[in-house]
Amino acid sequence: MAELLAREGATVYAGDVLDADDAESSPVTFLRLDVTLADSWQQAVDRVVSEAGRLDILVNNAGIIDYTPILETTEEIWERVHGVDSKGLFLGMRTALPHLIATGNSSIVNISSIWGLAGVPSAHAYQAAKGSILNMSRNVAAAHGRDGVRVNSIHPGYIVSPMTENQDPAISQSIVDGTLLGRPGQPEEVANAVLFLASDEASYITGTSLVIDGGFLSL
């Protein structure tokens, strides 16, 4: 996502808790960001605005997954998953919004999941967190549309990524088997949707949810 936006001419800052291996050769500026901490978000946004002069786009993509069913979900699991997947997104929008409003023509793209739209017998904390993204996005779209801020959510299916590469192969295969296209998605296929929703080509799209799942939810 970050590299595609940079290739299209955006000045991109990517936040993570880890140091990027390819930081020196990348067109993206990397900064340390713990999405679960308000102070970390404030420092990150302040740096972006200070160096770039403004903030036009926020993409909330941080996420972790846990497949524990509800009867085995501890408070620790719940708080860890929601800290990243739900609270982190809330803090990001709250911190960035004053600057996005000041821009007057801005976009927030929040990455949810197909499990934010459909039921699954496990992954209780993850599904609850991803479901919250849908309505948080709609809430901010409703609250700040007149301020020129568009907010949309993306709901990917099984995408080949660091988050999914170590999960049980049987889980991955069951999702692939349920897609109309019969294959996993690639990161670039989600990135293209992010680029569209962040761009002026999507200037009349807000408060909506875009599913990118190879047709999984169509069955």
Q: Is 111:68 a contact under the CB 8 Å cutoff?
A: no
Distances (CA, A) of 175 to 39, 86, 162, 168: 38, 24, 17, 11
Q: Which amino acids are annotated catalytic?
A: 126
Chain Cα centroid distance, residue 114:
13
Distances (CA, A) of 8 to 45, 84, 171, 179: 21, 28, 35, 30
Q: Which of 16, 14, 17 is closest to 28 using CA atoms?
A: 14
Give the separation between CA 14 and CA 20, rounded to whole angstroms.
10
Q: Which of 86, 164, 93 is closest to 129 using CA atoms?
A: 86
